[in-house]
Amino acid sequence: MSPAEYSPRKKLESLRNALVDPEMDKRLLDDNSIPRKFLADRNIILIRHDFDIHDTAAGNLASDPPILFIPRSEDVLSKFPLDPDAYDPETPDAKADLKFSDYAPPPDIKNTHHTRWSPTTRGRWLATYLIKWALSGFPRALPADVLTLSEECGICPVMVPHPFNRKDFGISRHGPNIYNCWESYIFEYMATTGPPNYETLYPHLIMVTFNSCTGHDGWITHGELTSIVTAMRNRAVQPAPEFFDPQEQMDCFEGQLNEHRSRIDP
């Protein structure tokens, strides 16, 4: 094998191809967990992390892995407490939106996949709840002069068209196997190179992924690993803006959407 074939891009492409191979579904363990041998053969190590935060930027940055954001100031927290009535008084469902609903299907339901307690339905609800809570200031009624996290850090959703997106799947997977699907919401935030040019860069991704199965401590699901690896690969081969054709990507994704619709509505 030539040195070029050992490059990070080649490794990511090879790993992604192994994960999206249809034969991979046959090798999965219960709840679509990745076999430990598959991880060991590819030098993938799962690291447990408690996501505890510190009260200082230095403490957060010293964590392994580092936490890149510091908590809001005590001044903001005390001035603008959690208040459902103040958050959006014009919306009748404001209090319902604030309520966190635990995933608790009735004990007599053995298969939740076709019910409102399905992992996909509950995962999607939880993902959007966390995104609103973390990025938009929800559920604090923040005034216009207090920035939300997305405003302060320049966090934007990665939509279509976008150079990050590729025509092949991996970030999300919809059917035909409803027991092994996943979906990802992706965001990026700005950074600059500093003086003298101050070029705008988008080095980091934030990805919120939910699966159609139950996760287990100490294991990683097929959807989790595939979405992470695909995101790394897509970023590694992302074309420069001058070489990106938005219309070509829109046409490609429209074709994929029509194909998906034809499968579920023959």
Rounded percentage of the chain residues whose pLDDT exceeds 70? 80
CA distance 88 to 94: 6
Domain assignment of residue 151, given as a range:
3-79+143-264
Q: What is the largest CA-CA distance in the chain?
A: 65
Q: Is residue 34 part of a domain?
A: yes
Nearest to 148 by CA among 126, 128, 133: 133
Higher-scoring residue by pLDDT: 12, 117: 12
From residue 88, alpha-carbon distances to 82, 114, 144 in Å are: 12, 33, 14
Higher-scoring residue by pLDDT: 162, 42: 42
Q: Are 210 and 180 in contact (CB under 8 A)?
A: no
Is the confidence at residue 263, as pLDDT, over 70? no
Nearest to 150 by CA among 188, 177, 112: 188
Q: Are 84 and 96 in contact (CB under 8 A)?
A: no
Structure tokens at 14: 């090879």
**H runs (alpha helix) in the chain:** 8-20, 24-27, 36-41, 57-61, 74-79, 84-87, 94-98, 119-135, 149-153, 222-236, 246-264
What is the pLDDT, as a whole number, of residue 265? 47
Higher-scoring residue by pLDDT: 134, 25: 25
Q: Residue 75 — pLDDT band, cuts 50, 70, 90?
A: confident
Higher-scoring residue by pLDDT: 185, 195: 185
CA distance 237 to 164: 8
Reduced to 3 states (helix: H, G, I; strand: E, B; else coil), residue 11 is: helix
Parallel, antiparallel, or unpaired for β 200-211 and 155-157?
unpaired
- Average per-residue pLDDT in the chain? 80
User: What average pLDDT score do residues 28-36 get?
Assistant: 95
Is the confidence at residue 158, as pLDDT, over 50? yes
Q: Is residue 251 part of a domain?
A: yes
Q: Is residue 114 part of a domain?
A: no
Q: Is residue 120 part of a domain?
A: no
Q: Is residue 31 part of a domain?
A: yes
Structure tokens at 47: 């690291």
Q: Are 202 and 188 in contact (CB under 8 A)?
A: yes
- Whether the bond between 3 and the residue before it is cis, its omega within 30 degrees of 0, is no
CA distance 181 to 209: 11
Nearest to 171 by CA among 225, 132, 130, 120: 225
Which residues make Cβ contacts (< 8 Å) with residue 217, sequence separation at least 6? 48
User: 104 φ, ψ to 5°?
Assistant: -145, 80
Higher-scoring residue by pLDDT: 230, 266: 230
**How many domains are contained in the chain?**
1
Which residues make Cβ contacts (< 8 Å) with residue 213, sequence separation at least 6? 31, 32, 119, 179, 180, 221, 223
Q: Is residue 179 part of a domain?
A: yes
Q: Is residue 175 part of a domain?
A: yes
Quickly count: other Cβ atoms within 10 Å of residue 216's Cβ.
Answer: 12
Could you read off the pLDDT of 106-121 as tens digits, one per residue?
A: 888 878 878 888 888 8
